Amino acid sequence: METVFSPADRAGAAMEGAEFLESLRRAFARQPVQAMESGFTPLSLTVAISREAGSRGGTIARRVGRKLGWQVYQQEFLEYLAQEPRLSRDLFDVLDDPASAWIQQRLDQLGLGQTQAAHQGGPFELARVILAIGARGDAVIVGRGAGCLLPSSSTLHVRIVAPLEDRITYLSQLERLTRDQAAEQVRTRDEERARFIEEHFHRLPTDIYQYDLLVNSSHLGEDLSAELIARAARAKLDSRGLEAGAPISAVPEPIG
């Protein structure tokens, strides 16, 4: 279902969108394209987080972003970028030719190329946005099939889970719902997310073998879960020969 934004939400997201585009422009101006025999490779690593409803995935993602000094992209902001024609167009104006070609190649490999764009609509634009973020890296992306879209060589694919009863209790407290209401929300959100992944990527989010890391947030807690993910990201950066971008002077606020 397409997210509907209020005028106030759109104004705030537009400002964040402009900042996002400027960060992409700086990244590609600062770092030369890393050429390999196969062509373009992303400038740095992206952490793609899949999560069960109520498993504290969004909160943990924000903690990961703080620990790494990377921006966090949530579902709402990703969908806003995909829905805004001007931002979507500007997004590709700031990318260099090798990065744009890499994105198109990934779309074609996933069956989301230009020949299917007219039929894919929102999912096609959403995929382009996520791939553009992944081309730069230094990002934490929550949901929307990011782990299915981005290559494993430049992505840490994480699944955050928790026991059902813990997830119901957490959502009940967070959103001030009755237990029955929270249980229904957990069920509905899990089903919607699974349907999105299955429909567009022909995968099941419950297939544990597609992830680099499976984290039980009830066992580890929010901070230790985030620390584990951040350490794994740093280790994968080193093992793949990728480099994080220049450190930022202040901890970023999550977008979305």
The residue among 37 and 128 whose pLDDT is bigger is 128
Predicted pLDDT at 124: 81
Q: What does the DSSP 8-state code read for residue 49?
A: E
Give the chain's largest Cα–Cα span: 57
- 159 close to 208: Cβ distance less than 8 angstroms: yes
Mean pLDDT of the chain: 81
Predicted pLDDT at 88: 66
Q: What is the dihedral of CA 112, 117, 119, 124, to 10 degrees?
A: 60
Predicted pLDDT at 159: 98
How far apart are alpha carbons 7 and 60 in whole angstroms?
Answer: 29
Predicted pLDDT at 21: 66
Q: What is the pLDDT of residues 172-195, one digit of tens each?
A: 999 999 999 999 999 999 999 999
3-state secondary structure of 242: coil
* Whole-structure pTM value: 0.80
How far apart are alpha carbons 28 and 31 in whole angstroms?
Answer: 5
**Amino acid (one-letter) located at 160:** I
Cross-strand pairs, 142 = 49
Query: How many other C-beta atoms can be found within 10 angstroms of the C-beta atom of residue 243?
Result: 15
What are the backbone dihedrals phi and psi of residue 73, each rounded to the nearest 5 degrees, phi first?
-115, 115
The CATH architecture annotation of domain 7-240 reads: 3-Layer(aba) Sandwich (3.40)
3-state secondary structure of 141: strand
* Domain map (residue ranges) of the chain: 7-240
Q: What is the pLDDT of residues 212-241, one digit of tens each?
A: 999 999 999 999 999 999 999 999 998 877
Per-residue pLDDT, averaged over 195-212, amounts to: 92
Q: What does the DSSP 8-state code read for residue 3?
A: P
CA distances from 200 to 35, 53, 125, 126, 205 (A): 30, 20, 13, 11, 12
Q: What is the pLDDT of residues 132-172, one digit of tens each?
A: 899 889 999 999 899 999 999 999 999 999 999 999 999 99
How far apart are alpha carbons 95 and 90 in whole angstroms?
Answer: 9
Q: What is the pLDDT of residues 74-114, one digit of tens each?
A: 888 888 887 776 776 777 677 777 888 888 888 888 877 65
